[in-house]
Amino acid sequence: MMNKLSIKQLISTVIISASVFSVTSFAQTEMAQGQVTRIDMTTGKVTIRHGEIKSIDMPPMTMVFTATPKTILEGLKVGDKIDFVAAQENDVMIVKKVVKTSP
Ligand SMILES: [Cu+2]
pLDDT along the chain (103 residues), means of 10: 63 56 55 97 97 91 97 96 94 95 82
pLDDT value for 39: 98
Helix or strand holding residue 7 (H, E): helix 4-28
User: Identity (one letter) of the amino acid at 46?
Assistant: V
Strands (E), 1-103: 32-40, 45-50, 61-67, 81-89, 92-100
Least Cα distance to 63 among 47, 79, 51 occurs for: 47
pLDDT value for 61: 98
Find the 75 Cα to ligand 1 centroid distance in Å.
Answer: 22
Find the 40 Cα to ligand 1 centroid distance in Å.
Answer: 18
User: DSSP label at 101?
Assistant: -
pLDDT value for 49: 98
pLDDT value for 48: 98
pLDDT value for 98: 97
Find the 22 Cα to ligand 1 centroid distance in Å.
Answer: 26
Q: What does the alpha-carbon distance between residue 93 and residue 89 come to, in Å, rounded to a whole number?
A: 6
Find the 60 Cα to ligand 1 centroid distance in Å.
Answer: 6
β-bridge mates for residue 43, sequence order: none
Tell the CATH superfamily of the 32-100 domain. Copper binding periplasmic protein CusF (2.40.50.320)
pLDDT value for 34: 98
Indicate the pTM of the whole model: 0.72
Find the 61 Cα to ligand 1 centroid distance in Å.
Answer: 5
Find the 27 Cα to ligand 1 centroid distance in Å.
Answer: 18
pLDDT value for 21: 52
